[in-house]
Amino acid sequence: MKPIKVGVVGLGMVAQIMHLPYLKESDRFELAAVCDVSRKLADRMAAHYGAPYACTDVDDMLRHGNVDAVFILTFNHCDIAKKAARAGKHMFCEKPVAFSVQEAQEIKRAVDKAGVTFMIGYMKRYDQGFLLGLKHFERMKKKKDVRMITVHDACFANDLAIRSMYNLVKYNDVPQQIITDGITTMEMRLRQAVGKNAPAHVLSAYRLLLETGSHDVNVLRGAFGDPHKVLHTEIWPEGNWIATTLDYGGNVRCNLCVARSARNWPDEFITAYGLTDTVTVEFPNPFHKNAATEVRRTFMHGDATTYETTKASHEEAFEAELRHFHDCVRKNKTPLTSLDQGIEDTKLMADIVKAFNGRR
Ligand SMILES: NC(=O)c1ccc[n+]([C@@H]2O[C@H](COP(=O)([O-])OP(=O)(O)OC[C@H]3O[C@@H](n4cnc5c(N)ncnc54)[C@H](O)[C@@H]3O)[C@@H](O)[C@H]2O)c1
């Protein structure tokens, strides 16, 4: 099997904890280049992971890095994605793909023109527990049993949850202008999505949805497709809680709640409530490598109630998504977590925020 030569752009948290180690371990990939606006970080990661080329500018990497595919692990993705597409590179891009639908569509135009593979890193879609839960959800849908779906993600404080597990490397050598430009671009795109006069707490809730809730919105899409419309949204004055009700047609509704909390434990699940079945897929802390996702099913048989709990596998979802990316590039297939899904997710998240009428 010929490995795909990868160039990684953005060498921060998710690169150091997940992608660099798994890329290094896999014989499907060869780490050909690393790039970060922090010179010291680029050199340190190149030395640690044995990448033959390190740089601070993605243009240099695309010219001299000898890569077939680019991993985009920065916060702002659009400019890097457009450049990589113009250079004919395949792309793996972390979620959220973009801060606004317009930005995501700019990426799509470049990707379509180049005819390259583009996959979004929604790793939960490749999680064996979620795949088992999907089978139960499918059965419930077939029986027209589903009435209510609850999606809940009270995410934890990353710093607290990660500090005790990993030694992340970070330097203070990024030029201030680059940091300022990145924040300005992001804020412009956020306002493009939810309105240029949106108040701070609404912008903050939208960011929370993008950064954390995008996983949940995509999991919901994977299980139940696109909702017909957004019925109602609440945003808390601190901008750190957002709750919405989605109409899935007929008698089916979904309550989705995403919150940023100060605690250090995860609290993330999707539950489908039916007339005869209840099925929950509960995700573990994503930074606990190989922790199993739990699938719980409660159902009636005659007068008896059965409570069934399954841990389908300890396979790491971050590794499973890499295998899928390799497969898509080599076999020229559209990824399960495609750019089109990322565009739909971005649109839904903006619609959720725009349904907030400003009152509580
Ligand atoms: N799948 C997941 O569960 C998951 C988890 C964490 C983060 N993420 C996503 O991964 C992305 C990165 O998040 P993070 O927490 O690792 O961020 P981070 O801030 O820790 O790392 C980002 C790195 O990118 C570098 N960078 C910024 N702009 C750059 C540019 N133009 N060229 C080269 N390098 C540049 C920064 O210097 C930094 O080292 C985000 O999109 C985030 O949403 C996904």
How does pLDDT run along the chain (360 residues), one tens digit per residue?
Answer: 789 999 999 999 999 999 999 999 999 999 999 999 999 999 999 999 999 999 999 999 999 999 999 999 999 999 999 999 999 999 999 999 999 999 999 999 999 999 999 999 999 999 999 999 999 999 999 999 999 999 999 987 767 678 788 999 999 999 999 999 999 999 999 999 999 999 999 999 999 999 999 999 999 999 999 999 999 999 999 999 999 999 999 999 999 999 998 777 789 999 999 998 999 999 999 999 999 999 999 998 888 999 999 999 999 999 999 999 999 999 999 999 999 999 999 999 999 999 997 754
Protein residue closest via CA to atom 18 of ligand 1 = 12
Mutate which of 8, 9, 14, 206 to test ligand 1's pocket (most atoms within 8 Å of Cβ)? 14
Mark out the alpha helices in the chain (DSSP H runs): 13-14, 20-25, 39-49, 58-64, 78-86, 101-114, 128-142, 158-163, 176-194, 200-208, 214-224, 317-331, 339-354
Length of the chain: 360
Measured in angstroms, how far is the CA atom of residue 353 from the centroid of ligand 1?
24
pTM of the entire structure?
A: 0.97
pLDDT of residue 163: 77
pLDDT of residue 2: 86
Measured in angstroms, how far is the CA atom of residue 142 from the centroid of ligand 1?
40
Q: Do you find a cis peptide bond into 227, omega within 30 degrees of 0?
A: no
Protein residue closest via CA to atom 38 of ligand 1 = 12
Round to whole Å and give the CA distance between 204 and 190.
10
All domains of the chain in start order, with CATH:
4-123 (3.40.50.720), 125-320+342-357 (3.30.360.10)
pLDDT of residue 266: 81
pLDDT of residue 97: 98
Round to whole Å and give the CA distance between 219 and 237.
27
pLDDT of residue 164: 80
Protein residue closest via CA to atom 24 of ligand 1 = 10
pLDDT of residue 284: 94
Measured in angstroms, how far is the CA atom of residue 13 from the centroid of ligand 1?
7
The radius of gyration of the chain's CA atoms, rounded to the nearest angstrom, is: 21
* pLDDT tens for each residue of 141-197: 999 999 999 999 998 776 767 878 899 999 999 999 999 999 999 999 999 999 999
Measured in angstroms, how far is the CA atom of residue 313 from the centroid of ligand 1?
28
pLDDT of residue 359: 56
Round to whole Å and give the CA distance between 318 and 286.
9
Ligand 1 pocket residue status of 7, Cβ below 6 Å: no
